[in-house]
Structures are given as C-alpha cells and as structure tokens.
Chains A and B, each alone.
Chain A
Amino acid sequence: MATTKMATTRWLHAQQRQGPEAAPSGEAWGSHGSARCGRAIRAALIIQNWYRGYRARLKARQRYALTIFQSIEYADEQGQLQLSNFFSFMLENYVHIQEKDPTLVNRLFGCAPQDDRGRQECIGIIEVPESYSGPRLQFPLNTNSLTIMIEAFKKQQILHAYYVLEILFETKEAMKQMPNFTHIRTCPTKEITICGDLHGKLEDLLLIFSKNGLPSGYNPYVFNGDFVDRGKYSIEILMILFVSFLLFGDDLCLNRGNHEDFLMNMRYGFTKEVLSKYKIHGKKILQVLEEVFAWLPLGTIIDDEILIMHGGISESTDLNLLHHIERNKMKSVLMPPVPMDKDSGTETKKNKGHVPRGVKLSGSPSDYLTKHEWEQVIDILWSDPRGKRGCYPNTCRGGGCYFGPDVTSKFLNKNRLKLLIRSHECKPEGYEICHDGKVITVFSASNYYEEGSNRGAYIKVGFCTTLRFFQYQVTKATCLRPLHQRVNTIESSAIRILKERMVSRKTDLIRSFQLQDRTKSGKISMGQWAFSMENILGLNLPWRTLSSHLVLTDDDGNIDYMTCFHDIHIQKPVKEATLIETLYRYRSDLQIIFNVIDSDHSGLISMEEFHSMWKLFCSHYNLHIGDSQVDELAERMDLNKDGSIDFNEFLKAFYVIHQLDNLSRSNTQLA
C-alpha cells in the first residue's frame, strides 16, 4: 500500500507543474480512483509546495535578522572591552583625577577601598514604612518567602531595599564558603535542570518554573550565568535566585556569567534598572552587588563528568588552576590586572594593564589576580565554540577566544570529563549541540532580541548522564502570531538598528563609497557597496541579501549609495556633522566613563573634568575634533550654566530619527 502511494506520488510530481487541470489518464495509477481524486492530490501538492517555499523564505529572513542582532551585539561587546584600554590611558594622563580622587584610581584598578561598612551600619538605618505594600519577608527565610516573593513579582511589585540588602549580605556570606566549582551528583530519583542566560527576563524564569517546578531539594537547578542586563526584571530574578540559593544550598547552583560584572551592568541596563527602582538605596545595593558577583562560583561539575560554565574554554584553560584562584579578586572583566606577578615574562599585551606612573595603589600586590589568572577567567566567561579547529582570539566580542572541536576533545580528555554545557550565545532553538555532541549551548531567554526572535530552552540531566531538552517561547498574546507577522517584526527591528549603525558612521561610509566611485556618478556596483559596508562597519553580514532593505538599486544592478541615508538622520543639538556622529557612535562608552568618574552617583561632573576627559577620549580614539568644537560642546552641555554637567541629560539629546516613524519627537534640547 505504501509503495503504491509512493509510486503514485512520484508520478504526480512529474505532472505537477502543468497545473491541476492537466488531465492525466485514469489508468496510470491503477487502483486509485477517478481523475477527480488525482486532481485533488495534485492540487494539494501544489499548495504544499508553494507553502513550503514561502515558509522557507520566511525562515531565511528570520535567520538573517538574528544575524544582524547578534553581530551588532558582539560588536558592542568588543567596544566595551576596548574601553578598558581607555581607562588605563585616561588614568595615565588624567592627573587631575589622581590627585582629587584616589578612590577612582583604585576602583578602576580592581582594588576597592576596604569597605568595612558593617552590615548593621548599612541596613540598620533602613526602615520599612507602614505604607509599603510589597512583600514582607521573615528572616531566617523559608520556602514560604520564596512563594510570597514570586507572587509579588508577578504583580509587578518591587521588593523593599531593606529586604534586598539583607538577602544580598546573606548571599555574600554564604557564597564566600563555596569553592570555585560546585560538585553535585545526580541520583536515580532526581534530575538536575540546567538553565542558560536569562538576562532579566522574568517571564521566562516563571515559565520555566511553571513547566518544571520550583527549585527544591527534590528539584535541583543550575543557572549558568547572565542573570542580569537587557531585560527589565534583573533585580527580581536575582532575588529569586539568591533566596533559592540560601534555602537550598547545593541544589541551586549559580555560575558567574560575563554580565555579572558591574562595568558591563553600566552599559547594558542593570545599573540603570537598580537606580531607578531604588532611588534612595540604589547605590548601596549596587555596591554590595559588586561583591556578590565577584563571589559567584565559576562553574558546576555534575558527577565529575559534565562541566557547566558560562562561556567556554581556550587551549590553555587550566581547570586545576581555576579551582584554586581567589575568584573574588576578579571584579570586572574590564579592569585589567596589575602585572606584579613573576611569570609575566612575555610582553604584556596592550590592554593587559600597566600601572601608570605616579599612581599609588592601596593594598598589596596580593590583592590582585595575576595576569595569567585573569586571562583564565576571561576565557571561561567569554569564549565561543566554533567549527574550525584550533583556538583563535574572539575578535567579534573582543575577549576570550573561539575554540574548535579539537580543543574541546583535548580538554575533556585531559580532565576526564564527558561533556561541556555552556551558554553565552543566543540560539534560535534555545539550545545547540556541537563539537560532535561534546559541547551543548543552552540559552533560556526566549525572544531575546525581539518578540519572536528565538526560543528558550533548558536541559534536564538524569542519572548516568541522560539528557532531555525542553523548549519554550514566551508569548504576549494568548495565541502565537502568525509566522509572517513575527518575522516582519524582527526583521524591521533588526534593520532599524542596523541603520542606526550606518548613520553613526555616515561620514566614513560616504568617503569609502566615493573612493570607489571613479566616475562620480553617485553609483557603485553591488560588490563595491558590500565591501565598503563590511569594511567600515566591521559587521560580517549578508550584505547582498540585505541591500534591498537598505539602499536603492537601479535597473542595471548598480547602487545609488546616498540612498543609504535617505530615511534616517540624527537630531542635531550642535551643528557640526562629524562631531554629532562621533558622539552618537560613542554615546554608550561616554556614558560609562561618565558613570565611573561620577563615583558618588550624583549625576553630575564638573566642566573641567568633562573637558579634560573629552580631550583625552578624542586623542585615544584618534578622533579629530578641534579644540573650539570641544569648548562649544562643553558649553552646550552646561545647561544651567553653573559649571556642572548633567551628562545623562545631554546624551538624551542624541537620538536617531527614523523618518518612517510616526512618532513625533519634541524638540526640547539645549538652550
């Protein structure tokens, strides 16, 4: 029966393209009935074929939208790491800061002034007012506390700073007792659930709990880093995770991710979230958090066979060493270590720290990690697996490396392990297996870039290393929107941010186009256009496929390159075009620098400080901005002419206008 049907189908395929009406001879397929029936089958085939083609094209669009998001994200991370160069450079030259604010120097070089502020001192003065309607927790905590908190968070309530701080201090003390790697075991009655990046997406965490149950002694979990940043509920996720950790100890393992890092948090939203939810006590919370993050364990090992770490490995990853380093000295990946170690025989790389002359550091050399140790930690938090053999610097992100299947095999064999589970990269299906089944990526933030961009997943590990995979996707509506709508959304979102990138490099792009436009016709070939785009923007994207969204092509296939910028421009508070672009391009960096200088989080820095900082910034990044322009800029930024600058206000002036937007933006801005 099956064979007959198959033969029939093959025959029908041949006929398919003639359309359903082309009459086949009735005898041709034996026992299958009338011509009418044959036509129906043929019709069905046509529809199916068409639909599959359509669907494939949608999937392709979804894929490249994701690629856009991802490459921009990594380019951002690279920018972030390069910022650490700037800090070193800045401190070397910024005499002003050194004299005025030695704590800043220490802050940037990884040795926070010994914060002996006692816990009592910190929390004791905080009172929870009667009017507080959020959850109230009892200490010592119990499982009830967890449920109360979760219910409250579902209702969008905010936990009072008093409880937050209590929980953070408790967590810090408990984590100090933990080794760098937590060793846990499966048993026949318990599966261990492993979750990847959450990035502040509370809905995903709640979805996981509803599908898989709350954590408990019978339902152990491992959370593999990146709990915060980007999403809007990072602090709530931390509270849930920390309370669970305090309640269930080894049954709730937390690994550090590259975003558990206070400098990353400044750029990617967590700092902002805390300061806005906790206007009075936010600073304190951030300070304690810095330490809690530094005390997070580096990884988890199940049954001495499965290693779980956030990023990956490099060819030099030394598990033994990692077991023994003092992990809390790694404050931030962006703070290079002071090379006081003896084994730095080789030349220090440009960005790996050198103590500026004249800087007095408090604390002794033993307060810092050695350069080698620091690199080891960067590798495990930032690396990505790739198909290519060997180990290469991760140029996309700027930190860690790309490691190939050979590196994995060697590492696993050497350490007698069977599997590496990691996170760190968004995958369309929520998880991905590579390197011959030896490396699995698990990512738990669905719709990470945009609604509909990807699924989330978690893995359940059972006795004898059996693995089960579960996927999900958070949806706002009760039913999933049709595929084409979802793809349209993420595609237009991706194109939007890509265009913002383009406009931030407008001058350079135009120069590059013009160089290739020998005849000055305003047009260049597709190949030339793609070359310029890739070169200047530094993004490895399928430019030819994207060209239809970005630029106009004429009938000969040539590109009218100025149309790149037709429907987008930056609002101008200052006249000079290059300056605007530069400020726009570096606005995240500037924001971070500013936040670091403004160590008391007052929101203001002095004109002088800004002036010197900006000049340094330009010289380090090789920007050619004349002195008078900087002066004009400084004056502009001093909104109320009192000699101080509210930097955040100023930065708000730089937003990109998409002409196709219907939103009208008011022309507030500078006097």
Chain B
Amino acid sequence: REIGTIIRSLGCCPNEGELHDLIAEVEEEEPTGYIRFEKFLPVMTNILVEKRYRPIPEEILLQAFEVLDPTKRGFLSKEELIKYMTEEGEPFSQEEMEEMLSAAIGPESNFIHYRDYITMMVIDEN
C-alpha cells in the first residue's frame, strides 16, 4: 500500500478511512495489488487542486495531546500513549507504535513531553 505513502509525502493527510476510499477509487477492477499511474494522476491532481486532506496545524495537534492529558501535566506516560494509539481511533500497528515511541522518548524514559516532541518533529520536517 505504497499509495498512502505517496499521497502523504505530497503533503496531504488523509486518514486511514479516507485513504481506503481513495484507493478503492483508483484501483483496478480485479484487485491486482497495483495502481496504474494514468488512473492515479487525475484523482491526485484533483486532491491537490481542491486542497483536500490538509495537514493538521501544530496548534490543533497540541490540543489533541492536551485532551489526552486532562490534568495538564505536560506529559503523557508511555502506557497512556500506547493505550490511546493502539486502541482508539484508527489504531496503530505495532511497528508504527514502536517507531513513534523511539522518536518520542529514550529507551529508559517513560514519559513523553509532548510539547517538546511536537516542536522537534516540526523542526525536523523543515
């Protein structure tokens, strides 16, 4: 499912459900597992032109973390993050969870200071 990677790397942020729908739109009639560029291009161009699936602004992301941290400690415990990410919404696979954790905290630590985490990720992107 490399289509997801391509779409996201172009700056769009569909969630898994939206991605699923998109793939259904461009897939071949018989599922070969491949997508043809000719079919993909118009759909993708549309998405870009219409500015669909805009990425989440930093403030909203911060708010989201704060929702999960209602007592406003400034951090989430590893267990809490894992629980939310793997049980709610569109759950992470184990690989995704491990990767997110490895970037967020050192192997010893148990807490994710989300403000710093977000800042670090955003800097890295630019």
The chain A residues found within 8 Å of chain B, CB to CB, are 9-10, 12-13, 16-17, 19-21, 39-57, 59-60, 479-484, 488
Contacts and interface: CB of A to CB of B under 8 A. Distances in A.
B67 A20 contact: yes
B89 A54 contact: no
Nearest to B92: A48
Given A46-B60, A482-B103, A40 B88 contact: yes
Contact of B8 (A16, A43, A56, A484): A56
Contacts of B7: 56
Nearest to B17: A13
Given A40-B84, A479-B102, A46 B5 contact: no
Given A50-B56, A53-B13, A43 B67 contact: yes
Given A40-B88, A484-B124, A56 B9 contact: yes
Given A46-B60, A56-B8, A59-B5, A482 B121 contact: no
B54 interface: yes
B116 interface: no
A55 B107 CA distance: 20
Contacts of B102: 479-483
Main secondary structure, interface of B, reads helix
B25 interface: no
Contacts of A21: 63, 67
What 8 A-B pairs come out closest when comparing CB atoms?
A: A56-B8, A60-B9, A44-B89, A45-B89, A43-B67, A482-B103, A43-B64, A44-B88
A417 B82 CA distance: 48
B22 interface: no
Contact of B96 (A43, A51, A60): A51
B6 A45 contact: no
Nearest to B18: A13
Given A21-B63, A50-B55, A57 B103 contact: no
A43 B13 CA distance: 15
A48 B103 contact: no
A54 B126 CA distance: 11
A17 B55 CA distance: 9
A473 to B, nearest CB: 13
Contact of A49 (B6, B56, B65, B107): B56
Contacts of B60: 19-20, 46
Nearest to B69: A43
B68 A46 contact: no
B13 to A, nearest CB: 4
Contacts of A54: 121, 125
B27 to A, nearest CB: 18
B122 to A, nearest CB: 9
Contacts of A43: 63-65, 67-68, 84
B115 to A, nearest CB: 13
Given A43-B64, A52-B15, 13 more contacts: A13-B17, A17-B56, A20-B60, A40-B88, A42-B89, A44-B84, A51-B100, A52-B13, A55-B96, A55-B99, A60-B6, A60-B9, A482-B103
